[in-house]
Structure 1
Amino acid sequence: MTGLNCLVTGATGYIGGRLVPELLDAGHRVRCLARSPQKLRDHAWAGRAEVVRGDVTDPRSVADALQGIDVAYYLVHALSSGPGFEERDRTAARVFAEQAHAAGVGRIVYLGGLTPEGIPHRELSPHLRSRAEVGEILLAAAVPAAVLRAAVIIGSGSASFEMLRYLTERLPVMVTPSWVSTRCQPVAVRDVLRYLVGCAGLPPEVNRTFDIGGPDVLTYEEMMRRYAVVAGLPHRLILRVPMLTPRLSSHWIGLVTPVPRALARPLAESLRHEVVCAENDIARYVTGPPGTPIGFDQALDLALRRVREADVVTRWSSASLPGAPSDPLPTDPHWAGGSLYTDQRERTVDAPAGALWRVVEGIGGENGWYSFPLAWSVRGWLDRLAGGVGIRRGRRDAARLRVGDSLDFWRVEEIEPGRLLRLRAEMRLPGLAWLEMYVDPDPDAPAPGTAEAPAPGTGGTTAPAPGRARYRQRALFHPHGLLGHLYWWSVSPFHAVVFGGMARNIARAAEHLDAETP
């Protein structure tokens, strides 16, 4: 099965962006069709896959992209309930099927939505109805197709999962629509990708749908309660109100979560229907390691893993990329990955970057935190009273830091000498917190020693321009439950004094240090 030429449409989306590296790791060659190829530049696999510009509704660009392709993955959806979206989905599927046949493609693989048994299409939500119709169009084509049908996909960045995450984390008491009692069969994103990759090797005579799901059948209410347990949140009180229509539900979701209402509405409409797998025939064709498919609790654990390991900062800073499909990607929507509050400060410093870095690396301990000492001391006392480490641990070395060092009630999580110091809070908090300090040469400043302006009293001769640097400071907080949000909102009025003063005084200390240096 290895060595196939695969086309992936929808590579800028949630599943497509995670499928490409799985196909590459399986030994396949991958081409991506995207309307905006630049959106794929931040993916770690960007240099290993071919990217072509095109639109699935344009026969010419689809035909060009399908040349030489063995397996074509159709992962494009108009995830909207706006006027005409069903017709756009219908047209795109027909164009893709026709051009795949003309190009001699051996198989089409499509990921759609799991639909309830025995309900006519006209009674389905527009979202589910369109997914089902696209699957039927592809199955009726001349190219063999595998249509996978999934319900809620569990993984950081999945719209369904993010809605579950925000509703559960932000509302200890929930007044919910009646659809929270509807049963569904969630599936881990790892299993979805495993099935998609495996479908590349299906026998040519296979042309059918496959229901894919995990081993657990749960109501949405049960999923929220189990999410709270896995995430370590208190028990959630859920009250069902039958008069909340899908339209009202989408407004409610939009109010409580950052998931866009245009996306929340089709998701809420789909949850009205019971979606449970009617068969598990995919297991006959695509085998997996022991323990698969993954259970709901384990899927949650994998999706939340990076938060508990205190690596969530990489999701928003793009400092690294995830190592598993259930991890966040820097290219996920801005509302994915859970809440992250930030306080950012930036200053130009009239001192070289080296002097500024010496101040940054010397922070804490006897040197203090360069702002409002009483506030830092009080925070340390409160932490000690709560059973935390307090602020009296100091530092190992007065001038040098290394990864893993304790620094008062922080821990050095990352250090790039001369450029970055990232600290992770070890104080008692209803969430996770980091403090990042960056040092960069000022791009607008003349290079040290270059002529800048005539020096006073020199008869027009020039004086060397002093070196300058840019200081950037970022405090980040990932709240845990409603208490975490309340904590941030309660302390944020003091950030201008604490963090603003910190940035200002670090800049002054660097300038003073530079002035004293011969």
Structure 2
Amino acid sequence: MRVLVLGATGYVGSRLVPHLLEHGHDVVAASSSAPRPDRFGWDDRVRAIRCDVTDPAAVLEAVTGVDAVVYLVHSLDRSDFSDRDRLGAQTVADVVAAAGVRRVVYLSGLVPDVPEADLSAHISSRLEVERILLACADDAVALRAGVVIGAGSTSFEIIRQVATLFLVQPVPTWMDSSVQPVAVSDVLRAVDDALTDDGPRGAVDVGSPDVLAYPDLMRVVGDQAGLSRVRVPAPVAPAGLVGLGTALATTAPFHTVTALIESLHHDMVCRPEHTWAPRAGGPLLGVEEAVRRALTPMYAGPEGALPSDPAWARGNPLLDVLPLPASGRTAARLALHRVRALLPGT
């Protein structure tokens, strides 16, 4: 198939493009910034283009001649992400419907089993985009995923940095809700299935075999990193204050962190009757193994780090060789990130 990947330079997109090539597809890799195939190691089998999903003319040019569209665009790094994502999704949906593209795959988010009025702005936006895109094509599918595990994944990197920085970790009691993470390699497999004629359709949940609480996920990260940490319940911890503190304690984009923290109040688990199972069979990757791969230096699989990952998610070569404890290295990396943010041109 000829597959258009919108948001190809993001975390999942940077893993998906070579994965699709390995499975024999032609790929059009689109991003909102100027294309830089050399940064990602893409060869001439990839057509790299610039495409603003809010621009109908640019979207029409991008979808012309493709068999399927994979939509990975999210704007959590902006304060107005809901408006931006709604406009982008509606623009793409209108163009896709007019062009007759029948297969659309959207990477959405797990939706808690609560009234929609109680959903966070982040999850509400994902659900809104999902509905727009599912309505535009007969063979559309929304793959709902929670925390995607892999080096460079925003949600995973936030957890890793918090679990590494503090020797004593205050954990709000409202964060005892359950989460069902998924390895990025299984997300890629789910996209594979969604592109087939007899693959899943509609909204399908994607998760690992493991369901655990957020503090336990932090423990797994610490254990796999060989770190001993103490987690202390914090009964009084407003979500806004926790979001601000987490944003200040990590190198991830501010608005992304605060939006994600707001989503931790509810269980983020798969619906048993609407959960993806691989067509080819074989087990899904467990959380501990996925985290081990993500923390293994130079790991060559999808969970491993890539040179193309954003600077805030990568280690610093100098700091990595200094004889510092993990918490000291993380603190130094955070301080260096803050200094760079204050310098013009960086």
TM score, norm. by length of structure 1: 0.61
**Which one has the bigger helix percentage?**
2
TM-aligned CA distance change 1:285 to 1:154, over 3 Å? closer
State the SS of the aligned residue for 1:147.
Answer: strand
- Deviation at residue 271 of structure 1 after TM alignment: 1.2
For the 8 Å contact 2:103–2:137, the answer to whether it is kept is: no
State the SS of the aligned residue for 2:69.
Answer: strand
- Structure 1 residues 105-159: Cα deviation after superposition (integer angstroms, max 9, x where no partner): 1200000110111x22221110010001111111222442110001111100011
Q: 1:340 aligns with which of 313, 316, 319?
A: 316
**Match of 1:513?**
none
**Match of 2:85?**
89
1:142-181, aligned counterparts within 5 Å?
Answer: 142-181=137-176
Q: 1:226 aligned to 2:220? A: yes
- Deviation at residue 185 of structure 1 after TM alignment: 0.3
CA distance in 2, matches of 1:229, 1:207: 38
Q: 1:245 aligns with which of 214, 235, 238?
A: 238
Of all paired residues, the percent bearing the same amino acid is 38
Q: 1:293 aligned to 2:284? A: yes
State the SS of the aligned residue for 1:33.
Answer: strand
Tell me how many residue pairs correspond in the alignment. Answer: 333
**Match of 1:270?**
263
**Match of 1:324?**
301
For the 8 Å contact 2:130–2:142, the answer to whether it is kept is: yes
For the 8 Å contact 1:113–1:149, the answer to whether it is kept is: yes
CA distance in 2, matches of 1:220, 1:278: 19
Q: 1:209 aligned to 2:227? A: no
State the SS of the aligned residue for 2:313.
Answer: coil
State the SS of the aligned residue for 1:38.
Answer: coil
Farther-moved stretch of structure 1 (138-147 vs 260-269): 138-147
- Structure 1 residues 291-313: Cα deviation after superposition (integer angstroms, max 9, x where no partner): x210000001110111xxxx4xx
- Cα RMSD (Å): 2.2
For the 8 Å contact 2:96–2:136, the answer to whether it is kept is: no
Task: State the AA in 1 paired with 2:7.
Answer: G
For the 8 Å contact 2:162–2:249, the answer to whether it is kept is: yes
- Deviation at residue 484 of structure 1 after TM alignment: 5.1
CA distance in 1, matches of 2:316, 2:159: 17
Q: 1:193 aligned to 2:184? A: no
- Deviation at residue 327 of structure 1 after TM alignment: 1.1
TM-aligned CA distance change 1:258 to 1:18, over 3 Å? same
Q: 2:38 aligns with which of 18, 41, 60?
A: 41
For the 8 Å contact 1:173–1:238, the answer to whether it is kept is: yes
TM-aligned CA distance change 1:199 to 1:485, over 3 Å? closer
TM-aligned CA distance change 1:24 to 1:478, over 3 Å? farther
- Deviation at residue 169 of structure 1 after TM alignment: 1.0
Task: State the AA in 2 paired with 1:334.
Answer: A
Q: Which runs of 5+ in 2 are unaligned?
A: 334-346
**Match of 1:63?**
60
Task: State the AA in 2 paired with 1:229.
Answer: D
For the 8 Å contact 1:212–1:280, the answer to whether it is kept is: no
Task: State the AA in 2 paired with 1:187.
Answer: V
Q: 1:20 aligned to 2:17? A: yes
- Deviation at residue 478 of structure 1 after TM alignment: 8.2
Give the number of the structure with larger relative contact order, counting CA–CA contacts within 8 Å between residues 6 or more apart.
Answer: 2
- Deviation at residue 82 of structure 1 after TM alignment: 1.4
TM-aligned CA distance change 1:18 to 1:59, over 3 Å? same
CA distance in 1, matches of 2:276, 2:8: 26
- Deviation at residue 49 of structure 1 after TM alignment: 0.3
- Structure 1 residues 5-35: Cα deviation after superposition (integer angstroms, max 9, x where no partner): 1000001111111100000000000002222
Q: 1:50 aligned to 2:47? A: yes
- Deviation at residue 229 of structure 1 after TM alignment: 1.3
For the 8 Å contact 1:183–1:274, the answer to whether it is kept is: yes
TM-aligned CA distance change 1:135 to 1:272, over 3 Å? same
Q: Which runs of 5+ in 1 are unaligned?
A: 312-321, 344-431, 434-476, 489-518
